Amino acid sequence: MNIQTGILIDLLRNNQWLQQCEEVSGLVPTGYWQQFTAAYHSLNRKALFISRVHGVDHVERVMLFGTLLAHGCGLSEEDVDLLLQVCSYHDVGRVNDGFDLVHGFRASLRLAKLTKLEGENLIIARAITHAHSIPDREMETVVNSYQVADVERCLTLGRIFKDADGLDRVRIRDLDPAFMRTEPAKRLTAFSEKIWQLYCEP
């Protein structure tokens, strides 16, 4: 099977609605946009799970949602980089598209080789990646098991990432704004729906 290249960057460059919408037009002049495009172009697509549900298209959308949430939450450059690495490789532990509580843990084991993260940032990224595939009520337990130095930072980034991933649940018709954890995510549900419609257009 050929590795898909994704279509998001072409949409962002050529789609008139995307160019004019507040979410994208407000992001482009910022450093967040520069970090997004750098992460997008350095994404190791060969490492991604090959799937129409959890493959490259999903990952690219989650990267965009993650960047928008980082902007909305005012994350630092360091935290944006960490978040985008998690967005990029959170599903590399998948072996199928089914319900799988362990795929986040499997993906976490590959982050050291797939990213340039080191030290505490790598530990936090691994904890977030592990926690993304389990219920929210267990997140703090997982985070504590990694012995991160700044638990609150890790939990905050974990919630933001879960929202970035959750915004793409529109693709399986299971996006409910009530389950979003951050206010910026609740404001992006209509945007995520529109992005999905653009992907579905012939």
102-150: per-residue pLDDT in tens? Answer: 999 999 999 999 999 999 999 999 999 999 999 999 999 999 999 999 9
Predicted TM-score (pTM) of the model is: 0.95
Superfamily (CATH H level) for 8-200: Hypothetical protein af1432 (1.10.3210.10)
**Which pLDDT score, from 0 to 100, does residue 1 have?**
35
Which of 105, 99, 110, 1 lies closest to 53, judged by CA? 99
How long is the chain? 202
- Sign of the alpha-carbon torsion through 152, 153, 158, 163: positive
Percent of all residues in the chain with a pLDDT value above 70, rounded to a whole number: 97
Please report, for the chain, the start and end positions of each structural domain, with discontinuous segments joined by +.
Answer: 8-200
- Rounded Cα distance, 186 and 202, in Å: 28
